[in-house]
Amino acid sequence: MTDKVTLAMGAGGRQTAQLIDEVFAARFNSPLLTADDAAVLEPPRGRMAMSTDGFIVSPSFFAGGNIGKLSICGTVNDLACMGARPLYLTCGFVIEEGYPLDQLRQIADAMAATAAAAGVSLVAGDTKVAGKGQVDGVFITTTGVGEIVEGAAPAGAKARPGDAIIVTGDVGRHGCTILLARDEFGIEADVTSDCAPLWDSVEAMLGVTKDIHVIRDATRGGVGTVLYEIASQSGVGVRLDAAAVPVDPAVGGVCRMLGLEPLYLACEGRLVVIAPKEEAPALVEALRACPNSQGAAIIGEITDDRPGWVVMRTEIGSETLLPQPTGELLPRIC
Amino acid sequence: MSDATTTARQILATYDGPRLRIMEVCGTHTHENFRLGIRKLLPPQVDLISGPGCPVCVTPVGFIDEAIWLAEHGVTITTFGDLVRVPGTSKNLAAARADGARVQVVYSPLDALEYAKEHADEQVCFLSVGFETTVPAACLAVSQAHAEGVGNFSLLVANKTMPNAYAALKGSADVFLYPGHVHAITGTQLCEDLVEQGVSGVLAGFTAKELLTAMAVALSKAKEGKPFFVNAYPRVVKSEGTPAAVALIEQVMEPCDTEWRGLGVIPQSGLRLRDEYAAYDARKKHDMPVIEGHANPACRCGNVLRGEITPEQCPLFGKVCTPLHPVGACMVSGEGACSAFYQYGGNLS
Amino acid sequence: MCVGLSAKVVRIADGMAMVDASGAKREISVQLLDDVEPGDYVMVHAGIAIAKITDEDDHEADEVMEALLA
């Protein structure tokens, strides 16, 4: 085998089989992984959740992970947000001609390790090779199926006035990591992505109570965007305590340098959880006992005031609206 | 909470003086006052007016059109992120980028120069907007390019200076909240001179404590009834400013008349490159034709900038003009008055 | 009009300084200021230091208030 991905490896012949066997199947090491046209699986016992997500990230390797880890976490976390234990995943790759095989192996390693940590089986895959310049490195799409824990039914429209808002750790680290990895602004900081699978954190919460109203993973657009989505879906107001939102000091430093707001930077391993206030302390305690949510904190509450808006209690105890997300994050000088 | 903050809030809460219009000259003050919720702490007879100190907001439409002309003629545009979504006559730089133009967001004009050095086969232009605080960085980039003989770098200049803007706006407010970082460069003499003319002001910093302190100073002094000037940001602003920065601006640029979006032409309130640096003037270097921009005639950014109306009184505000689809520049910049009103809800009181 | 960043100077060479703001580091120009040394604090705007400051703290506001009330 050469050390780079070639168009022939995507042509469906022997070289394709060799690529799949040597790079993917050898690593995914799942008895369920099919060599046929589709995986044949036992159905979940209860209700089932299903989700799909595409992953493009530049650069595909960053502090704390790579696109492979991200592609597993993203779909596992989407399932977990519905109270579903992730069971099966499929993965589709679109790889740019000339992509280093060594990096592809590292991506597959990360996928295997993350899937094992999340307790999910990779059951089917697809590999395509696109001509040089037609894609940027490697794109991955994963689709997952999960089994919903009986009694759990979190949904974006279920936030109720009086509920507490919990975030499962410090915000904005993934977005900040990618910004630094692109090295467009000459800034260095010791920041690693929060990218992590979160089923065990959700399972721990469901062990405390099934009465969790909303669980969302704060990916693109960050925690701020998720809070606006929930406020709108549930027709409620959100009151956020600025001082209670956990932010890593270096992430804060990068944001101050570029005039960005950490609440709008992407996370890949953080959930926003909305649950009855009286359950919140026990939920936070359960979350803090899990490795990927040790920094869990209560950051605010749901109100019936100003439906659709996020009101922030400021550092001086006054109030202001959290600005609504406006798309592309641009550093500002003024 | 510290003593200064508590005392300042008490002063704001118990103010029983006359009606007072305080102009936030600096857009970052507008932004921070909203972000911290300071407006909500002011007594009802005190109005905060957002002034002209957002460089993006006062940059005329034609400047964006000029930048797009350059981009469409193969020049790589380097710019602060603030300008990317500002509407030109027919499109903004983000749209030009989508159409294939090279638009590179930079943190500093010095980074733009670095980019030019690393891309010797490209012509690189930096969009030089901003006031006295930002001008020295641009001048430094030009003087370094000159010293090192970098031939593929230029500036499209729309820099502005404050003195004549203060003069043009002095009837619009009772107290200027002076921009701390402009005066970190230029010093405080101008503010002292304005007191002589009966114009009051407080020089303010940007933290919660500094802004509350500046407001408390403004309200206390206003009650005394005579013109005043207080430097409430002494840790950064010295009376002499930063002389080396002033000298550098003087060396590289010279005053000229310039158009402020919404305010019209204010004599000798702009800067342009001196003849010695003409090789770095993008307009000359690339033989740019005269380009006149056309703003949406219903946009009332100008009245907003003069403090004549609040953003909510503009017919476009929040309807056709929103941060996602800005019509006027005051809606584009995070520190623009319209954007701040929209994002932070001017009605949250 | 001008976002400023207070940061600590870590090292200096040839008019350029590495500054640190809560762990975020970047090279900036200190050519316009005299006598800047490692350990000093500066106010940074658009990649240049525009003023030397005592430290990151804004306690001077307390003194301004004291003077006002005196």
Instruction: Please provide the DSSP assignment of B142-187 as one string.
Output: HHHHHHHT--SEEEEE--B-SHHHHHHHGGG-SEEEEEHHHHHHH-
Those residues whose C-beta lies under 8 Å from the C-beta of residue A59, and which sit 6 or more positions away, are A137, A178, A181, A182
Q: What angle do CA A214, A215, A218 make, to 5 degrees?
A: 125
Contact (Cβ atoms closer than 8 angstroms) between residue B258 and residue B164? no
Chain B residues close to A328, C-beta within 8 Å: 84-85, 94
**Alpha helices, DSSP H, located in B225-273:** 243-252
Q: Which residue is associated with the tokens 């467009």?
A: A184
Which residue from C2, C26, C46 is facing A186, i.e. has the nearest CB? C26
Element (H, E) at B191: helix B189-196
Mean pLDDT over A245-263 rounds to: 95
Nearest of A194, A298, A300 to residue A237 by alpha carbon: A300
ipTM: 0.94
C-beta atoms of B109 and C58 within 8 A: no
| Contact residues, A window 240-299, toward B, CB-based 8 Å cutoff | 257-259
d(CA B94, CA B84): 6
The token pair that represents B252 in the structure block:
């590289």
Chain C residues close to A259, C-beta within 8 Å: 3
Among chain C residues, the shortest Cα distance to A254 is held by: C24
The token pair that represents B259 in the structure block:
């158009």
Which residue, among B10, B229, B235, would best test binding to C if mutated, counting the most C CBs under 10 Å from its CB? B235
- Sign of the Cα pseudo-torsion (B267, B270, B275, B279, in order): negative
Chain centroid to CA A17: 31
Mean pLDDT over A51-68 rounds to: 96
Mean pLDDT over A158-182 rounds to: 97
Strands A214-217 and A271-276: antiparallel
d(CA C33, CA B192): 24
Blockwise average pLDDT, block size 10, chain B, 349 residues: 82 94 91 90 91 83 96 97 89 94 96 98 97 97 97 97 91 93 96 96 94 96 94 95 97 96 90 97 97 88 83 91 84 80 65
The token pair that represents B275 in the structure block:
């003849």
Kindly tell me if the per-residue pLDDT of C60 is higher than 90.
Answer: no
Contact (Cβ atoms closer than 8 angstroms) between residue B321 and residue B299? yes
Chain A residues close to B54, C-beta within 8 Å: 334
Phi, psi of A30 (to 5 degrees): -110, 130
Shortest Cα distance, chain C CAs vs residue A123, angstroms = 42
Those residues whose C-beta lies under 8 Å from the C-beta of residue A230, and which sit 6 or more positions away, are A156, A159, A214, A216, A236, A238, A272, A274
Burial grade of A41 (CB within 10 A; 0-12, 13-18, 19 or more): middle
Q: Which amino acid is at B221?
A: K
Chain B residues close to A327, C-beta within 8 Å: 324
Strands B253-260 and B264-273: antiparallel
What is the pLDDT at residue C56?
A: 67
Which residue from B28, B105, B335 is facing A330, i.e. has the nearest CB? B105
Kindly tell me if the per-residue pLDDT of A1 is higher than 90.
Answer: no
Those residues whose C-beta lies under 8 Å from the C-beta of residue B119, and which sit 6 or more positions away, are B76, B152
Whether B164 has its CB under 8 Å from any CB of chain A: the answer is no
More confident of the two residues C10 and B326: C10
Domain positions in chain C are 5-69
| Contact residues, A window 145-184, toward B, CB-based 8 Å cutoff | 184
Domain spanning C5-69 has what CATH number?
A: 2.30.30.140
Nearest of A143, A144, A141, A181 to residue A56 by alpha carbon: A141
Shortest Cα distance, chain A CAs vs residue B226, angstroms = 31
For chain A, list the contacting chains (3+ Cβ pairs, <8 Å).
B, C
C-beta atoms of C59 and B27 within 8 A: no
Q: Which domains does chain B have, with CATH numbers?
A: 59-161+241-285 (3.40.50.11740)
Q: What residues does A95 pair with on adjacent strands?
A: A129, A138
Nearest of B23, B141, B24 to residue B80 by alpha carbon: B141
The token pair that represents B242 in the structure block:
């930063």
Among chain B residues, the shortest Cα distance to C64 is held by: B232
- Among the residue ranges A22-26, A174-178, C51-55, the one predicted with the least confidence is C51-55
Contact (Cβ atoms closer than 8 angstroms) between residue B131 and residue B159? yes
The gap between the terminal CA atoms of chain B, to the nearest Å, is: 23
Q: Which domains does chain A have, with CATH numbers?
A: 7-148 (3.30.1330.10), 163-321 (3.90.650.10)
Kindly tell me if the per-residue pLDDT of A139 is higher than 50.
Answer: yes
What is the pLDDT at residue B189?
A: 97
Q: Which amino acid is at A15?
A: Q
Whether B115 has its CB under 8 Å from any CB of chain A: the answer is no
What is the pLDDT at residue C67?
A: 85
Mean pLDDT over A108-125 rounds to: 96
What is the pLDDT at residue B270?
A: 96
What is the pLDDT at residue C1?
A: 53
